[in-house]
Amino acid sequence: MAVAAVHTLASLTVGDEIATETYHLDRGNLVRYAGASGDFNAIHYRDDIATEVGLPGVLAHGMLTMGLSVQPVVDWIGDPGRVVDYQVKFTRPVVVDPKTGATVSVSAKVGAIDAEANTARIDLTVTYEEATVLGKAQVQLTFA
């Protein structure tokens, strides 16, 4: 059994990249997420409905994208209870092609350290097709 690394606030420097991850989504992922979340909006599985309402195709659920994006930080810190705040602004949809799917990339960097509060802000860069899909994506971690 591997022992998880213990991360301390003192070991961090603003600008450090603490985690990266790439996720490939396909339509099956969207179906499974819809079942788990109860979000059966047709724009997440029917091309005809998505295009009818002006979208470029079937979209990944925003909350799926948001959840995938924070996971590398949770894996790095080792305890989801240390996430005390997580915010994003949805800036661009992730279109999941029926044949090729979609690839979402995440980079997590230390954006700010508050030694007095014993917290760090982790800034996420989340991209799809080389464009940012989540703006102001920030995770607040406690080291208390």
Residue 3 included in any domain: no
Q: Which domain holds residue 88?
A: 14-26+59-142
pTM: 0.92
CATH number of 116's domain: 3.10.129.10
Residue 36 included in any domain: no
**pLDDT (tens digit per residue) in 30-73:** 999 999 999 999 999 999 999 999 999 999 999 999 999 999 99
Answer whether residue 4 shows pLDDT above 70: no
Q: Count of domains in the chain?
A: 1
Residue 21 included in any domain: yes
Residue 40 included in any domain: no
Check residue 1 and give its pLDDT: 47
Residue 101 included in any domain: yes
Burial of 50 (0-12, 13-18, 19+ CB in 10 A): buried
d(CA 81, CA 103): 28
Residue 5 included in any domain: no
d(CA 123, CA 73): 10
CA angle (112 as vertex; 128, 140 as ends), nearest 5: 70
Check residue 113 and give its pLDDT: 98
Residue 42 included in any domain: no
Residue 46 included in any domain: no
**pLDDT (tens digit per residue) in 115-132:** 999 999 999 999 999 999
Answer whether residue 2 shows pLDDT above 90: no
How many helices and strands, by DSSP H and E, does the chain display?
3, 5
**pLDDT (tens digit per residue) in 79-124:** 999 999 999 999 999 999 999 999 999 999 999 999 999 999 999 9
Check residue 59 and give its pLDDT: 98
